Structure 1
Amino acid sequence: MFTGLIEHTSRISSISDPSSPANPSTEDEQGGFTLTLDDAAPILGDCSIGDSICINGACLTVTAFGDDWFKVGLAPETLTRTNLGEVKVGDKVNCERAMAGHTRFGGHMVQGHVDSTATIISKKPDGDSIRYRFQLPPSTTLLPYIVEKGYITLDGASLTITEVDDRERSFGIMLIAHSQEKLTLTSKDVGSTINVEVDCVGKYVLGSTERIEAMVDRIVEKKMKEKGLL
């Protein structure tokens, strides 16, 4: 579990694709697509093999690490759901270690389970802030979970939704000056993709409501049949 408060931005130092003859998999990579990240010392002081680190919003497992670098494996599902298949050597990514039980819980409850990607469709300055608008793909089912002034996680960062347009499948956020210095979103332009995780509390509430409604419908139908009304 994470909070969406980015601790550090690390750099992609190498990308290994075992399916390529030029990059055969090694034992420590366990036959998976592997990212190596450096410039990572601030988040490795208490690191252990098997720890979770949220990278651009995706919860990934540390498979190896040193003083200033670590490796994570990427499964096909991760590549399908996220923008991590698009990163290049030298790119910066947002990083957050798993939430500790003894710290204040800022941000919001983030699972690190990316739901989809969205595309930046506008980026405009507003005073010392920047207003962004994003568009979800035509196949999206996420709009019921995206509400004005609600939470959303973009590339791992907990942000507040400022506007929603269901017809355009779009939503907006405002990035304050402090966040501009901390997040990789600042360096992204119109047309770039970002990882999206909607508020998991909304998922559970809406999912539970739908199940309760279905259960009530079944009970009503049963009682009506018993009374010969159907």
Structure 2
Amino acid sequence: MFTGIVETIGTVESYITTDSSESGGDDNSGVSLTITDASSILDDCHLGDSIAINGTCLTVTKFDSNSFKVGISQETLRLTNLGYLQKGDKVNLERAVSGDVRFGGHMVQGHVDTIAEIISIKNDSNSIIFGFKLRDFKLINYIVHKGFICLDGTSLTVIDVNYTDATFKIMMVAYTQQKVIMPLRKLGDWINVEVDLTGKLIERQINTSLENQLIDKQSSLYKLIDRLIDEKLSKLN
């Protein structure tokens, strides 16, 4: 679990597309990523620890005082922007939370849902307004005005949503701009998106409740539907 408060910015040292099985894939499709400039988050690191890279929860398979290595599965490559990384690119880094960490952002799983394209960048005084378009349109239903969203591992607040176009906007204040990689991005770049887990949980609970009521003849919903059908049939007769 993460908070969406980026701890430091690392640098891609190497991106290897054919690696041993320790990378997280098999010998033919394994992918490994080594991140450097990460000393500030490695003082308490252990093998097997979770570190979010651009909001993607990954497992440390090797590390030293300044760098660490993770494996990336093919499923992760399909869902995230990690496959676009090249040597020298900057990435947001955050360790998994410990018991004494304040939740300055929001509850982030590190399970990226999809990617979004940057379609607009506009300066607003000392802030920047970024506009995005989702690759997977259906996920726009989990994004709400003034709700949480995690972009490349950064907890942000949605300031505008267009459900028809599957687009949304966020505003980034000057302080945050200095701590994350978003200001380095340009139009057309792809950003990792994790929608707020709360919306998905509520939807699942509602769907489950409706499904159960539809098969329970004693439920209020079943009785309501039955009554409405009877009323319609009586009018036809």
TM normalised by structure 2 equals 0.88
Shift of 1:103: 2.0
Amino acid at match of 2:100: H
Q: How does 1:118-133 map to 2 (within 5 A)?
A: 118-133=116-131
> Highest CA radius of gyration, 1 or 2?
2
Shift of 1:27: 6.3
The list of structure 1 runs, each at least 4 consecutive aligned residues, that deviate by more than 6 angstroms after superposition, is 221-224
Which residue of structure 1 aligns with residue 87 of structure 2? 89
Shift of 1:28: 4.6
Where does the alignment leave 5 or more consecutive residues of structure 2 unmatched?
224-229
Q: How does 1:1-230 map to 2 (within 5 A)?
A: 1-18=1-18, 25-26=19-20, 28-29=22-23, 31=27, 32-137=30-135, 139-220=136-217
Amino acid at match of 1:37: I
Where does the alignment leave 5 or more consecutive residues of structure 1 unmatched?
19-24
Cα 1:68–1:207, aligned 2, differ >3 Å: closer, same or farther? same
Shift of 1:200: 0.6
- % same residue: 45
RMSD: 2.1
> 1:64 & 1:51 partners in 2: Cα distance?
10
Amino acid at match of 2:9: T
* Secondary structure in structure 2 of the residue aligned to 1:141: helix
Residue 28 of structure 1 contacts residue 64 of structure 1 at CA under 8 Å; is this kept in 2? no
Shift of 1:120: 0.5
Shift of 1:220: 3.5
Shift of 1:2: 0.2
Which residue of structure 2 aligns with residue 22 of structure 1? none
* Secondary structure in structure 2 of the residue aligned to 1:190: coil
For each residue in 1:88-115, what CA deviation from the matched residue of structure 2 results, as whole angstroms up to 9, or x when unmatched? 0000000000011112111000000000
Shift of 1:140: 2.5
* Secondary structure in structure 1 of the residue aligned to 2:201: helix
TM normalised by structure 1 equals 0.91
> 1:53 & 1:187 partners in 2: Cα distance?
21
* Secondary structure in structure 2 of the residue aligned to 1:148: coil
